[in-house]
A = this chain, B = another copy of it.
Amino acid sequence: MKKLINNVDNVVKEEMEGIAAAHADLVRVDVANQIIIRADAPVKGKVGVISGGGSGHEPMHGGFVGMGMLDAACAGHVFTSPVPDQMQIATKAVNGGAGVLHIVKNYTGDIMNFEIAAELAQADGINVEAVIINDDVAVQDSLYTAGRRGVGATVLAEKIVGALAESKADLHTVAEMCRKVNSMGRSMGMALTSCTVPAAGKPTFDLGEDEMEIGVGIHGEPGRKRMKLASADEITEMLTMPVVEDLGLKQGDHVIAMVNGMGGTPLIELYIVYRKLDEILKGMGVGIARKLIGNYITSLEMAGCSITLLKADDEMIKLWDAPVNTPGLRWGV
């Protein structure tokens, strides 16, 4: 195992210390509790928006804490859910009196722990709503999930919902927008290689030199099929068409598109994938209104990519364009 680390037990702690040293202007970091909090939290009268999950998917979620996106992110160990205590502390820290939204990816551990945290926070008198993101069309149930997994739409939800919360919309309105983004967002991913969890010390799964996994999960969970390596164009079609069909995209629709690298994929390859995605959607009369191309929800050093499409209306696009100032996404400021 070749990694730029000191000790497998301290990977997340030292990452937190690095983020604290780098981004004190944007966030404060509770290193002991592995929580990243917006520097000026709680913002009075604003709905607090928090998320969290296992580490190893950076920049998600900690890299998306700041003005216009998340108020806090709870980091578990690599590929391991954070615990309810973290979420409870985060919920309290960001409560500006207007309640707190929990954005939860659909993994059994995350769901369970966020539910407990919501109950604890509500017992403390904080109004909490939770929205579950389950946008991965690849498989119905999975290694750590009942139903569809939550993946790339989480990034888009955090941006759009964060902008709406910034405008001082109320908790119900913010939660409804998050549900809408989830209902209009779909993703599918693939892997050329596995990744290695530091504490495990060996690849999560084995993939032959001429094989790839279509529909892979962000923890290396099995996808739809393992098959011979195909061309970028063929792979892009295999990822795009199930998303398009599940979403029922039709001529005249507009999407926010994300071509996401899994962590070990050169940007040059992501642009080759985007080229084909654009061609497919143009051929259907679907417009790409906004896009992200790069590493946003990763699986350590896995090589591969995922495609997320969000059928977007004017309100979503306006919220997308609103200023954001986080370590991982920044514009307008």
The chain A residues found within 8 Å of chain B, CB to CB, are 2-7, 11-12, 14-15, 17-19, 21-22, 55-56, 58-59, 63, 78, 192-193, 209, 212, 229, 231-233, 235, 263-275, 278-279, 291, 293, 295, 298, 300-301, 303-305, 327, 330-333
Contacts and interface: CB of A to CB of B under 8 A. Distances in A.
B229 A15 contact: no
Given A6-B232, A295-B267, A18 B275 contact: yes
B56 A266 contact: yes
B231 A5 contact: yes
B268 A15 contact: yes
Given A2-B229, A22-B274, A278-B22, A268 B55 contact: yes
Contact of A18 (B78, B272, B304): B272
A15 B7 CA distance: 38
Contacts of A273: 4, 18
Nearest to A231: B6
Q: Indicate the member of A235, A264, A303 with the most B CB atoms within 10 Å.
A: A264
A262 to B, nearest CB: 10
B268 A300 contact: yes
Contact of A269 (B5, B193, B265): B5
B22 A291 contact: yes
Nearest to A19: B271
Given A2-B192, A2-B193, A21 B265 contact: no
A233 B3 CA distance: 12
A271 B22 contact: yes
A58 B300 contact: no
Contact of A278 (B6, B18, B268, B333): B18
Contacts of A267: 58-59, 63, 263, 295, 298
A4 B55 contact: no
A172 to B, nearest CB: 33
Nearest to A209: B2
B21 A278 contact: yes
A15 B264 contact: no
A285 to B, nearest CB: 15
A295 to B, nearest CB: 7
Given A58-B266, A263-B266, A266-B58, A192 B271 contact: no
Nearest to A5: B232
Given A22-B291, A58-B266, A4 B300 contact: no
A6 B271 CA distance: 12
Nearest to A11: B268
A21 B330 contact: no
26 contacts: A2-B229, A2-B303, A3-B192, A3-B232, A4-B192, A4-B232, A4-B265, A4-B272, A4-B304, A5-B231, A7-B231, A14-B272, A15-B275, A18-B270, A18-B278, A22-B291, A22-B293, A56-B268, A58-B271, A263-B264, A263-B266, A266-B298, A267-B298, A268-B300, A295-B295, A331-B331
A274 B18 contact: yes
